Structure formats: C-alpha cells, structure tokens
Structure 1
Amino acid sequence: MLNFYRQLTLPWLVAVSLMLVFTATWYQYEAKLQQRAQVQQFSAALQLAVAPYLAARNYQALGNHLGHASAVSSLPIQAIALLSSSGTILAATQADNVSEQSIQQQYLASQNVTSYQLQKVDHLLVSVQPVSALQLTPTVNMPIDNSGQFYLLIMVEYKLAFAVWLLPMLVVFIFGSIVLIWIRNALAQQQLLQQVDISLVAHKLRQLQQGQLNCRIDEQLMPDLEPIKQSFNALSEQYSAHQISLQQQISHQESKLETSQLSLVETSNHTKKLQQQQAEYQHYLAYCIKNLQLVCQQKSGFEAAELAQLVSSQLTLLKLLALDSPLGTEKLQLTAVVAEQLVEYQTWFNAKHIKFYLFEAAANASHTINFNPFALNALIAALLQVTLRNVAVTEITLRIELEVNDTVSSLNISVVSDGEGLSARQRQLFDADDITRLHWQEVDYAILAVLIKQLHITKQVYSLEGLGCTSKLVIPLPLAEPISLKPLSSILLFDADTEHLQERKQALADLATQVTYCSDLACLEFNAEQASKDNIIIFLPPPVTLSLWQQTLEKLAKNSKIHCYASFDSIEVWQQALGHLVQTELFSLQSFLSNAASDTISPSSTKLLVVDDNQTNLAFIQVLLKDKPIELTLASAGQEALALCQQHQFDVILLDIQLPDINGIEVAKQLRASDNYQHIPILAFTAHALQHEKAEFIAAGMNDVILKPLQADKLQQILQWCTLNKLA
C-alpha cells in the first residue's frame, strides 16, 4: 500500500500540471472566440443602428450615437468610425490614445472589403463592416455596390481577463493540491503504520530471542508485512514446540533425579530406621527371652492355663515388635474378627465367674478397615487381661465401635468394669513408655504400650475407688470402605436391662428396616401378636418362670426365628428348659447376622428318626404323622439306627429303649460321641420310666421321655421338640 501511494504521487503531479495547462489554454481560446463573437455581434447591431443616420446624412447624430454605443458597450472599444469608400472619416469616436491617422491606416489596410472582416492588429481587434445607405436593413456579409458605399470600423482592445482562465486553473490547482495532501497524509499514515508494525515485529523477535514461548503475532499487519507475520508465527511455533520438548525432557530428567534423590534419602532413612528397629528389637528380644526364662523357672507356681497365657502373651509381644505396621494391608470386617475370639474371651470370664457383655456398632458390620487381625486381637486381649487384674470385678463390658466420617475413620475400643478400680501401680503401668522396665508378669501392659505407640492411639483411663474403671482407646484409621449388606426386614428385641436394650437397639436399627424392642414378657407377647417378626432376639432374664417362657417361645416359634442368649451363670438352666434354642456363644453381630441371613426353617424340613422294634407302633406313628410337615424315617434295630445316622443328619430322634440288638441307652451314648449328634434332641420312647430310669436316660444324653402308647398329646410333645430344635 505504501508503494502504491508513492507511485501515485508523480503521475498525479504530471496529471495536475497537464490539467492546468489544458485548462488555461482552453479557457484562453474560449475567451478569444467569445470576444470575437461579441465584436461581430456588436458590429452587426451597430450596422443596423447607423443605417437610418446614413440615409438621412445626419453625421452629427451619427457621431453621438457612436459615442453612446462605445460608452455602453462591455467591450474595451478603442475607436468606432464611419468612413466613406475614399477613407474619409464621416463620424467617429475614439479613445485618447487612438488618432484619426491610426483609424485611417487600419481602414487602408482593409480596403476592398466586401463583407464583414475581423483581424488582429498588434493589441487590437479591428472589424470592418461595409454599410450601404440605400439598404434600410442590411445584413452582415452582404455584398455592397461601389455606389453609396460606407465602412463601419470598430477597434477593440485585445485584452483577455485573467479571471476568465485563472479561476478554473485555481480550481484545478486546489483540487490537485487537496488530492496531493491526501496522498501525502495517506503516505504518512501508511508509513506510521508500517513503523508500528515493524516495531511490533522487532519486539516479538526480541521476545523470541530471549526465549519467550508462544510469542505469536496475532495483530493485523499491513499487507506488505503479512508474509513476515506468517513466517514469524511459523518460526515461533517451531521454537515453542522445541522449547516445550526441551523443557519436558529437562523436567523429566529433573524428576528422575529428584526421585532418585528422594529414593536415596528414603533408602537411607529406611536403613537407619531398620537399624534402629533392629537394635530395639534385639533389646526387646533379650527382654522377652529373659521373661520366658523367668516364666519357665517359676512355672510350678502357676496353673497350666495361666502358664500358657503368660507364654502366649510373651510370644505375642515378640510378634508385634516384628510387625512392619499393625494396620497392614489386609481388609477385615470387625464383627468377623471379634466373633472368632469370643469363645476365648468367654472362657476367661467364665473361669473367674465374671459377667461379660459385648456391644458393637452397626458400622462394624457394614464397613471394612485396613488392620492386621493379629494386632487387633492382641490389642483387645491385652486390654481385657489388664482389666481382669482389677480387684473385685464381677462385670466387664467391652464396646467396639467403628466411627466413619466423610474423610477419616476411627476405631473406639472401651472396657468398663466394676470393682475397686485401678491401683496406683496400675496407673503407672498404663503410662509406661519403656516396656523393658516392666515385670515379666506385666506383659499385657507391655503389649498395650507397644500398640499405643505404633498405632498413635489416644488413651483415656478413668477410675474411681469402689466404682470400677473405664479404659478407652481411640485408634485413627484410613477411611473405611462400605460393604453391601442386605438389610433385615424386621427384628423384635427383648432385654430386661433397659440400658443394654437401648444400646443394642441403636446398633440393630442401622441393620434392619424395623426394630421393635421391649423389656418385659407381656410386652414381648403383645408385639409378637401385633405383627409377625422375621427375627426375635431374646436376652433371657434369670430363670424364674421357665414354664411361662417355654409356652411363650412355642408361640413365637411358629412365625419367627428365635435367637436366645443367657448369661454364663444361668445358661445351663435355660438350655435344659429350652434345649438348643439357647445359644451357647455370646451375642455378637456377626453370629446374629449369619443366623438371620439364612432362611427360617419350616417344620416341613424337620427330619425325624423313629427307632422301634414293634411294627405296630411304627405303623401307628406313620398314621399320626402323615399329615404333619415332618420327613419321617423308620428303623427297627439299634445298629440300623446308627447306620442311618451316619448316612443322614436327623433333627430329632425318637429312640425305643428295648431293642433286639443293643438297647436305646447304648445307642444314645454312641450318638452323643459323634460330633454331628452331640446336640440333637434324643427322646426316650418307652412304656415305663421310673425316676431312676429317667435319670439313667438323661445321663446317657437323652433330652426327654415319651411314654407308650403314643397319643395326641404326646405327639404334640414330639412336634414341640422338632420346632424348638430347628429354631435353635
């Protein structure tokens, strides 16, 4: 564009100059023609005007008229004269600078003119017009005869007005100047734009030279600089891509170097840590070996169970010290881990006649956590063993509750006991840091101290003299992961202890769609009658009204699955009264969910084995039970019954005492020796049963006595045992 304006300037100057010359020439030529035409028109008009004066030969008036015509004419008239053919001036008017001689000279130069004639003489236009006095209305260029011939001579100054041609030239000049100024301004603007664009390109080049990435030219440049812009952008993209690639390679190498350095530091730290742990482990190993030696030296002063517990605790401490991390990577469900240890815990407390209660949160069953099961069991066992050291303890409550938040989880383990509380020595042991200072019999405190340190456990111990103590451990955990559990539909919960009832109800409420609870037998019967419950959990009270409970459970068993739990001091009585309907293990969420998850067993699946050598009795029993939902199997001898029990699993056995090969008492003893029939109800089927005979039957493992002959009321007694056994 800049070159265009530059190339346009010279042609425009030439064009303007030519336009000025042409305009001046043309307007001058037009002015000449116009002046000649005006002179000719004036001469013709004057010819007509003087004709009357010539006819009248009034030369005086003619002279006046010529003077008047010269005065009023717009032409620069120098002289007007009327001459005879001989050259005599008849009438004239002239300017001061024009003499009669010059008039005559001009006439003489124009003799023999027969028509209008106009010529330029020096600076004058001289027109000669023949005029005849005989013609009243002569016309221009009309031939005249020699007789009576006159000549009208007009001398006009040949003077052109400058305004006539100067004004157009001025207009052309102004227009040309305006255009030139516009061209100059446009040229200056283009030069300015070009300078700005060049400065921008230079700035971008400096940025690129300094290593700046993505310094593209996105602004609109002049068309002349567009190729430079495209080339620069292509160069910038290549440079940026190259720099990015180099930076990535450098970053990658730096990252590898940093990783190597970190790995080296971590390896060094890990080595130091391992060396430190090895030194500590060697120290602790010497401590544990010394304790084991002391245990072996004084083993005679301990019972076998206590000695085994001491040795097991020392080995547990050694294994804990060798663990990399107590949390580990294994995912576990708290309810499952706790349920596996309940039998061992129950053995400890039953041996010391201490009531033991377990409470768990619903999250224990609905989530999994990362925890080493060995470390978890060791922690709970050590906390319980420490609590067992308290004086006058009759009741211990263990609470294991998993708390799950949006980002973190924590495991709360607390043990509450009655008795005299903690002694001063026990308080010191809870705060012990160096386990090597502990006595070898205080290994449970050492286990707690190791796990508290390894797991960063928050410890809280409360104790009041005569009111027992509470030990609570809060373990921070990674976020627990939920697992899918099918919710139970409805649960009816019974517990005479209202505090325990509320706590158990809260845990079960998150695992079932509906939980109904009560604390007395009448309320239990009422709630069961109002709506059928899939599962009924009963924590049995002291065994006072056994018969009433038997009747109530018989009603409840028709529509619901019953789970009964009793304390250790009354479980034998309840088991004798209710059979295996009473659970032998402590209540835990894991055992309950496992039992409740299985479908309720209907009486139609009850398998009854009847053993009698009397075919009439067998046929009669078949008739009585043909409409009952019982799968009946018959046997007529003791060995046959034993063989059938090896091939099949029966739910109830009705056993005749007098058999042809071996008697029913011996059959019952052999069945009780089998693992599959240790808890299956065996009913003695006999025609007579004295008191000492019943005692012999019970001693052989039989649960009840059914007297012959079999009647409807006795049949109901058999059906009751079938129902109770399936519910258990």
Structure 2
Amino acid sequence: MKQLFIRPLWPLMLLAIFVVLSLVASWFSLQLWQQQQHTAYLHQLSRHAALLAMHPLREQNSQALSQTLQALQQHSVLPLQAMAVYDKNQQLFAATEGSEEVLSNYSPLPSATQPVVLADGMLLFSVPVWADVQQQGRHDLPVPAISSEQLGHLLLVAGPSAAVPLWLMLPMLLLVLLAALLLYGWQQKKQQKRARQQLLLSQQLQQGCVADVQGHDFALLIDAWQQQQQRHQQQLRSVGRDAELRLQQQEQQHAHTAENLLQLQQSYQQLKLHSQSCDQQLKFWLELCHRSDSLSAVDLRSKIQALQLLSELHAADFALQPDHLWLPDWLAQQAPLWFSDNKLPEQFVFDEDPQAYQFKMNIDTRLLSVLCHIFSSYCQQAAAGQDILFSYRLCEVPQKQLKLTFKYAGAGFSARWRQLLLAQPDSELTLDDVEAEVARRLLQELHGSISLNSLEDLGTQLDILLPVSWQKTSQSKLCQSILVLDERPCRLPLLKQSLAAIGEQVHSVATLAALPEAVQLRLVDLVIVLLPESSASLHQDAAKLSALAERYQLLFFASDKARQLWQPLLASRLLPVPILLSHVSHALQHPNELGNQQLLVVDDNLTNLKYVQAMLSGGGLRIDIAMTGQDAIKMASNNRYQLILMDIQLPDLAGTEVTKRIRQLRHHQHTTILAFTAHALPDEIASFRLAGMDDVLIKPLDTRKIAHILTKLSPADEIR
C-alpha cells in the first residue's frame, strides 16, 4: 500500500483524483443545465399557451380553449400536470382534464415573474393573458401593448425534470481507471529495471570490474545512494520532532495539572464559603420561623425580603444589571416604595441636585432602591418623627460618583450597625443583623463606600458614595420664571435650589396674601403653591387661588390634612407632598389642553376684535386685545403670550415695527406671531417675515383658519 504513495506516483494520483472530480462536477453541471432548460421550455410553453388563450378568453369560448390546452398537454414531452386559465375575476375559465384535482392543492397566483417551486417539487407558472399584443422582433414572442387590458392569467403546473442517470458517466470513468492502471504498470516496470541495473552495478564494483562501469550507471548508483541518505536523514528529523513534541506535551500536561489543582482549590474555597452562607441563611430562616409570631406583618415582610435578597447576592450566577437612570424620575417612582404603606412620610425633606437634571446615569436601579429602602427605614425609626433630609449629588472628584446623604436630628446608628457596615463583625450574625448585612453586601456589589458622622446635639449624617457613569442629555430648562409659595421658611431654600434645574429664575413668597401682588410684579411661567393645613379665611383664599389659576399656570401641593381642607374648594388637581422635580417637570410637559394659553389680538377695528374674541372664546383661550401698537408692546412686556395676531395697519405704529419691538423682549423671542391682514402680496409677505412674523392669516376668520391658529399655539412647556 505504501507503493501507491511514493513520490513518482504522486502526479498520477493527483491526475486521477482531478479527473474523477471533473467527472462529478460535469454531472452536476449537466443536471443543473437540464433543470434550467426544463424551466425555460416550460416558461416558453406557458407564454405560447397564454397567446393561444387570448382569443378564446376574449370571445368567452371556454370549450375551444379547453381543447387547445388538452392538445398542448398531450403532445408535449414535458411533464405537465395541469393547465388552466382564470379570468380577471380569479374564476376558472378553462382547464385540462384532471386539472381541478391538481389545482385544488394550490392557490392561483394572479401574476408571478418567476416560477414558484412548491414543497412537493412541482413548478407553478402564472402568465397573464392580455387583450392586445404587438410584435417587437422577428423571432421574439409578441408582448402586450401599452394600453392592453389583462383578460386573466394562465396557470401551469409541471413536475420536476428527470435526473441525469449516473451510468452515463461510467464509460468515461472506466477509461480514466484504465489509463491510471496502465501508467501505474509502466512506472512499476521502470522502477524494477532501475533496481536491476543498480544491483548489477554494485556487484561489478565489488568484484573490481571498473572497466565495465559506464558513466550513466554510476550516476544512477550515486543518485540512489543520495536518496537513501536523504530518506535516512528525514527519518532522523522525524524522530527528533516526535521526541520534541512528546516533551512539549508532557510539559503542557504538567502545567495543565497545576492549573487544574489551582482551580480545584479555588472551587473548594468557593464551595466552602457557599456552604457556610447556606448554613447561615438556613439558621436565619429557622430563627425567623420561631420569631414569626412576635413580629408585626410589616417587620415579617421586611425580614423575608431581606433574606431573599441575601440569598440572591450569595448566588454564584449573580451579576449586576445596570440601567439608564434619570435621578428625578427614579426618586419620584422609588421613594414611596421605601416605606411599608408605599407613601412618602411628610417628615422627609428632599434636596435634589439641579445639575443631575441634565444627566442620565448607568447603575443597577434595583440594588440602589433596596439600599435606600434599608437606610431610609432605619433613619425613620431613629429620627422619632423629626425631619429627615435626603439629598443626592453628582460628584466628579476624584471620580464620577453619586453621593446620597441622609441627615436627621435624632439617635445615631447603633454600635452593631456601625460594626457591620464599617468593619468585620466580631461575633456570629443574628436575624436582627440581616438588614445591615444586606446593606454591606449591596455596597460591595456596587463598589461603594459609606461614612457615618453622629453628634449628640447636632444629629446624624450618613453619606453613601457609589461610582457611576453618566451621559449628558439635551434636556433644557422648561421655563424662565417660577414663583413658590411655602409658609415653612426652613424648607424654602432647599426647594428653590432644586427648582433651579427647570427654571431660569425662582422666586418665593411666604404668605398667601402676598401671592397676587408677587404675580403682578413679575412675569411668571409657573406658580407652585404648597397649601397650608389651616386658614383663617379659607373660602376667600380659595377664591383668590381659583382666580389666579384661570390666569396663570398653578401647581398645588398638599398634605393629607390640607387635601381634606382644600380639595372641595379648588377645581384643580392637588399633588401630594413633598414637592419633587419629577412632579413639576411632568406637569410642565403635560399642560391641561389650552387652559393656560394666552392670545393677544392687535387690531384698530373694535368690530374685528370682538368678532375674533367671539370666534376663539369657545376654545378655552384667554384672549387680550390691543387697539394700538403702544398698547400691544406694553401688554407683551407685562404678559407672556403663546400667540399674537398682529394687524399690519395700526394708527400709531406699523404692525411690522411693533413685531420687531416685541421680538426684542426676551420672553417673546420664540412666541408665534401671525400677520393678521385683509390682503398680502408676495413682497409684503417677505417683509412680514423679515420683521419677525411666523406666518400670514388673511381676514376674516373661518373654521379652517381657527384650526390653523390652534395648531400654532405652543404649549406652556415649550417656553425657552
């Protein structure tokens, strides 16, 4: 068998393999060519049949068409299964015998540029039948005319083409095998002759018959000896490579064994720690079962949730799941869940970072919420009803971090909690230590740190630092001026600092009596009112607030006690305290339809003003009117309008000049201003736009123009 692979026979073997592969490739090519020809013949036959069906289908002669199709199927050498013609209503018009049974398995196709290969190997052709055709080329089939109507379509079902028999290639294969055998025999004979010559020459050299040695035979002997030496050297090199390879394999096995031992040792340590953790958790669950009768429902649920989370943190497949987080929304959604009744206690005061309003963070939100839940519950118990300040800040030094702070005046953290959070416990954990242990593990998973500062007279401050990453968003401030009414002066500075995230200017008043005057003194986009829990003149104050709510955008916040007092007297919705950035931002981004939209109409004709006022009053708009340019400028300076209808011809100033002056006001640089005129030429429209007007509205008003005005109104939250 080795003689088949010696060096002189390699070309012969490669030649034989190449010929065999060529024969196989030729067979497959022939098979593919036959299939293509089969498809082409079927496609041409279907087109011919469509041409033959044109006149019978146009004359509604189904019998003649059926006979024609039957004749085509009988005289065709192709494996036709069924031929049928459908009219333009997808109804069967004519078909060959037995076609109904075949076509019942297929849905007719109105048109198809390529044949459809079905699951059972059948080919389905669908060719349209046109009313008029035209001849393009001498040897080409007619094509439909440009304005031709489709009368229907022809459906042809044909079987697959027969495979090319493999035995057709056997003669060629036998010839190739015969040629290979002849070449092999010739090569063997040549090698035997060379071996005899080498043996004879070797015997003559040993006998000293040098005279009989010819140059050619001597060269052959030298070549044979060199080839033998080369084979010997190749064997030596092969043995050396094998020895080196075995040595490398042994070294790799030793290294792999050492690595396996190290992995086994690490796995053993992990299993040991996991076993200890399981034993500890089992002890916790057993202790919880024994103490379940003495615990309240809230404490029992809290212990169960803590034990479940502790088991999850000790799991081998536990991994962080970071998510995009916008801090104001996260605080508004998650803070109520920190407490048993899913409601924020009124003792909590929130100090939100105005810089965080423009950033989104990446952090595991679930673990962050659980961590805040544990510390807020502890602080609530330790504060004993006193105020608790919770704040968050984004810090960039020494790295990007989220700083959470709990601050209250009350008892500090117990020595046991300090030991569990800041150092390793010196004794075995008990069921009372579960919350502190969960907090410690959460800080480890989030790679955070904690600091505790307690003074007897000043209170306790807990700082949590968590490394995070954040991306700046395109969030901009929603309004320019905010007015806050809060009768508690101690919380007002914190609230003003937080609201600076969504307002350019934040002003405040301390009493409800000063609110109307403060609103009139400055342009205000939003008024936030924290309703008091008692009022000496309740009905009068409610009437004042209702009147202001009709003119300005007001947000009311109230405690549970204040809600019971004010809700029957105010038509507006009362939001729960505390005041959070997310609540204010959401209210600005979702204003009540058109309830806070202000419109200024400038026209020197009183009849036009009253007509416009009557036409637009049904939409809930607040409409101001001005008859001169100076009045319009004065009213625009003291109010914030969402849309201004500007007459062009005014008694004192031109409407374009009034528009230019209004555009110089900061709060009206983006207000929609429409030119309100009876006629406008293209050159005039261009001058209106240069003056700062957004569009032109032709008098008089109708339903379509009113709808156009309402689409131009910008909601209050789009003030920039």
User: Taking structure 2 as the reference length, what is the TM-score of the superposition?
Assistant: 0.43
Normalising by structure 1, we get a TM-score of 0.42
